[in-house]
């Protein structure tokens, strides 16, 4: 029964070889018998793949070299030709077969990384083909798919086949990739037309569940919900089968068996980790080949050296990075740092990055970042999806990348915690700033005030007063910076506002300085004027004091002179009586009873001389008046009543000292420079003159 190879066999008898041997030996010999004998396979439950084999007891092993076939797909999806390596989905395949038979449209939905495409391509299609269905080539949405649906050859093929199945894989690309809604509607309308025209046609769609809201109003909506099937998560048994059975197909084993448990644990709680699990298993197979061992076992030591599933992720990231040019590598660095944030207790965490964040002022950078993002999504390093607000975003497949990929760790350390926190705050500030600039009202009557309010609010949200603005400005000036167009615009707007505020502050300071200088000038003028006024006041007070003192002295002089003259008058009674008698002999104009003195007084202009004339010899026109000349040098006498001048006049020197003064004496209790002079020169009435002596000495 050892039929393969034909040249003597290989020492191993498989069930297929045994079946062939029995058929050739028994079936032919019983063709003429009443009961014909035909060998057949009876597969045991859950053992539909693989074969039993028996070692030939009398034949040494003559096995061919091990074919270089990796039993694991890595990050690639299973295709129909890989059905022999696809395990763990029997229940799901059976359910789908029944659904396809019943519904024109079958939608296999699920999250990214749950194995939707593999389930359909390597599980459902082989089952349908085995059931007699005609399988059309699988397509993906796009311009080529639309052309394929309109080809006459497809129409002929559908008309010829009674039961045909068409698979459209990654249907979410119809929502994310079409440039307009019209293209999508046209594509779906063509599908509807094909389904309505050909009753035997079955369309099978794989679509990510987060994109399904895009198709709620689709022309296919009537069939969508009825034919929807959500790909279930692997059970523990199914996951173990998916890990172990492909290795068994290549006669490979896990050593120890606990290694399988570790692999299960790595993928059990993260459905989107299935592609990375497959990648780790593929790398484990490569490690076995490189080891040169002949024990046909996957070693736990190899698994530890490659850092497990996380190590596979890091190697994949390195492979993508190394495949890029320098500028694209810088774009990859900036993109991944944008996906890093610090949560509570300074713990690193991943964050979603929305498509609008990947628009840069440099259009070439926008193209580079999109290229890098697409490569990382294709390599299953990033996960692309859409949120409840229909916003497309990308994020790391797993946070393991943050702590396990050394290159990313170096980038994070180089950027620094403070910078990453600052970038996170900047993104929040930019979103708030952009939201404040959208008034949200289309009423023309409300638009203007809302725009004004929005303008004022948005300007308050700028970082004109933020101390971190200079740091951001310097980072923005460096080539290859990571700021997108919105962030760059925000930084420029904040910096311009800071400049305007600084200029306004400088203008205000200048204005204050001008006011201060003016105030100082006014104060200086005021002080000078006040000082001058004070000096003037002091001079005035001094002058007043001098005048008051001079007046007081003059008053004292007058009083002293009067006292002296009264004493003298008393001493010359006889002379006075004689003069009075002579006056009475004349013709008086009027008479006055009683006793008294009549006299005149005069003071020269500088108060230096004082004249007193007792007027007992007045003429017929009345008493005699005495007066100094304006220059103070002459003394004049005239009749007061008639105004006629007398012939008598005294001349004095400029200092007030005249040779006619024959008596000079001091009064010590007054100012020592004040003296009095008496003169008896024959003037009627005996004129008395008093004056200041310039040098303070008596003169004969």
Token pair 């909506």 is at which residue? Answer: 221
Q: Are 404 and 310 in contact (CB under 8 A)?
A: yes
DSSP 356: G
* DSSP line for 489-513: HHHHHHHHHHHHHHHHHHHHHHHHH
pLDDT at 399: 73
CA-based nearest residue to 495, from 537, 451, 465, 456: 465
CA distance 251 to 288: 13
CA distance 209 to 385: 9
* DSSP line for 104-154: SEEEEEE-TTS-HHHIIIIIIHHHHHHTTPEEPPPB-SSHHHHHHHT-HHH
Q: Are 398 and 312 in contact (CB under 8 A)?
A: no
Q: What is the 3-state secondary structure (H, E, C) of 151-218?
A: CHHHHHHHHHCCCEEEEECCCCHHHHHCCCHHHHHHHHHHHHHHHHHCCCEEEEEEEEHHHHHHHCCC
pLDDT at 677: 40
CA distance 574 to 576: 5
CA-based nearest residue to 229, from 125, 135, 92: 92
Within 13 A of 238's CA, how many CA atoms are on the CB side?
Answer: 15
CA distance 287 to 484: 42
pLDDT at 130: 93
pLDDT at 607: 54
CA distance 622 to 641: 5
pLDDT at 208: 86
pLDDT tens per residue across span 136-175: 999 988 767 888 888 888 888 888 888 999 999 989 888 7
pLDDT at 499: 86
Collapsing DSSP to helix, strand or coil, 670 comes out as coil
The residue count for the chain = 700
Q: Are 138 and 124 in contact (CB under 8 A)?
A: no
Domain with CATH 3.40.50.300 in the chain: 89-233
pLDDT at 76: 83
| Cα–Cα–Cα angle for 535, 540, 543, rounded to 5 degrees | 125
Average pLDDT per consecutive 10 residues, the chain (700 residues; last block may be shorter): 59 77 74 72 62 71 69 88 93 96 95 88 95 92 81 88 92 71 85 92 92 87 93 90 90 90 79 79 91 88 86 88 95 93 71 91 94 90 78 81 85 89 88 75 48 56 85 87 90 88 84 84 80 79 76 69 60 49 41 42 55 48 55 57 50 42 36 39 41 37
Question: Which residues 6+ apart lie within 8 Å of 163 measured at CB?
Answer: 132, 133, 134, 200, 202
What separation in angstroms does the CA of 144 have from each of 141, 148, 151, 178, 207? 8, 6, 11, 12, 19
Question: Which tokens is 583 given?
Answer: 């006056």
Question: Which residues 6+ apart lie within 8 Å of 331 measured at CB?
Answer: 365, 368, 369, 371, 372
Please tell me the CATH superfamily of domain 89-233, with its number: P-loop containing nucleotide triphosphate hydrolases (3.40.50.300)
What separation in angstroms does the CA of 459 have from each of 434, 435, 450, 663? 11, 12, 14, 102
| Cα–Cα–Cα angle for 47, 50, 56, rounded to 5 degrees | 120
């Amino acid at each position: 029964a050892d039929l393969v190879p034909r040249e003597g066999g290989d020492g191993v008898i498989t069930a297929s070889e045994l079946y062939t041997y029995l058929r050739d030996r028994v079936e032919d010999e019983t063709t003429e018998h009443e009961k014909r004998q035909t060998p057949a396979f009876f597969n045991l439950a859950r053992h539909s793949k693989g074969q039993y084999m028996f070692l030939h007891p009398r034949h040494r092993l003559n096995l061919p070299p091990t074919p270089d076939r990796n039993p694991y797909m890595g990050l690639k999806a299973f295709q129909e030709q890989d059905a022999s390596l696809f395990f763990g989905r029997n229940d799901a395949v059976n359910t789908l077969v029944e659904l396809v038979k019943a519904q024109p449209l079958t939608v296999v939905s699920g999250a990214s990384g749950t194995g939707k495409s593999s389930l359909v391509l390597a599980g459902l299609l082989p089952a349908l083909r085995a059931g007699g269905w005609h399988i059309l080539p699988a397509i993906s949405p796009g311009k080529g798919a639309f052309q394929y649906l309109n080809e006459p050859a497809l129409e002929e093929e559908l008309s010829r086949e009674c039961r045909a199945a068409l698979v459209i894989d990654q249907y979410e690309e119809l929502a994310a990739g079409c440039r307009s809604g019209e293209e999508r509607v046209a594509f779906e309308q063509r599908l509807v037309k094909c389904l309505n025209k050909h009753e035997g046609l079955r369309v099978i769609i794989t679509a990510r569940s987060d994109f399904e809201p895009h198709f709620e109003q689709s022309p296919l909506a009537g069939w969508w919900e009825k034919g929807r099937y959500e790909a279930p998560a692997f059970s523990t048994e199914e996951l173990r089968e998916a890990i172990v059975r492909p290795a068994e197909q290549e006669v490979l084993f896990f050593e120890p068996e606990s290694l399988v448990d570790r692999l299960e644990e790595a993928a059990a709680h993260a459905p989107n980790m299935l592609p990375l699990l497959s990648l780790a298993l593929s790398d484990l197979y490569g490690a076995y080949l490189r080891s040169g061992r002949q024990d046909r076992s996957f070693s736990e030591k190899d698994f530890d050296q490659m850092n497990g599933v996380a190590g596979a992720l890091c190697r994949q990231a390195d492979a993508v990075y190394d495949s890029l040019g320098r500028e694209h590598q810088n774009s990859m660095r900036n993109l991944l740092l944008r996906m890093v944030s610090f949560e509570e207790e300074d713990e690193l965490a991943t964050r979603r990055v929305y498509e609008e964040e990947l628009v840069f002022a440099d259009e070439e950078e926008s193209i580079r970042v999109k290229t890098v993002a697409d490569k990382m999504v294709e390599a299953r390093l990033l996960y692309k999806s859409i949120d409840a607000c229909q916003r497309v975003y990308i994020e790391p497949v797993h946070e393991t990348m943050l702590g396990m990929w050394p290159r990313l760790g170096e980038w994070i350390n180089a950027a620094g915690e403070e910078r990453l926190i600052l970038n996170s705050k900047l993104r929040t500030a930019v979103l708030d700033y952009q939201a404040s600039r959208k008034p949200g009202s289309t009423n023309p009557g409300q638009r203007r005030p809302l725009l004004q309010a929005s303008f004022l609010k948005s300007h308050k949200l700028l970082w004109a007063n933020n101390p971190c603005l200079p740091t951001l400005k310097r980072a923005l000036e460096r080539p290859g910076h990571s700021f997108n167009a919105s962030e760059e615009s925000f930084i420029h707007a904040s910096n311009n506002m800071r400049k305007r505020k600084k200029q306004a502050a400088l203008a205000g300071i200048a204005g204050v300085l001008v006011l201060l200088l003016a105030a100082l000038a006014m104060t200086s003028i005021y002080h000078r004027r006040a000082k001058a006024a004070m000096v003037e006041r002091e001079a005035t007070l001094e002058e007043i004091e001098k005048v008051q003192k001079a007046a007081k002295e003059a008053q004292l002089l007058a009083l002293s002179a009067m006292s002296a003259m009264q004493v003298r008058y008393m001493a010359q009674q006889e002379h006075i009586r004689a003069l009075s008698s002579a006056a009475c002999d004349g013709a008086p104009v009027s008479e006055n009873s009683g006793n008294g003195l009549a006299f005149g007084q005069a003071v020269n202009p500088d108060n230096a001389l004082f004249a007193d004339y007792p007027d007992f010899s007045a003429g017929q026109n009345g008493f005699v008046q005495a007066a100094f000349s304006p220059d103070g040098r002459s003394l004049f006498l005239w009749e007061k009543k008639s105004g006629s001048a007398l012939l008598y006049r005294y001349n004095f020197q400029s200092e007030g000292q005249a040779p006619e003064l024959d008596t000079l004496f001091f009064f010590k209790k007054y100012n020592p420079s004040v003296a009095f002079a008496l003169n008896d020169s024959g003037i009627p009435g005996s004129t008395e003159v008093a004056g200041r002596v310039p040098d303070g000495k008596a003169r004969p």
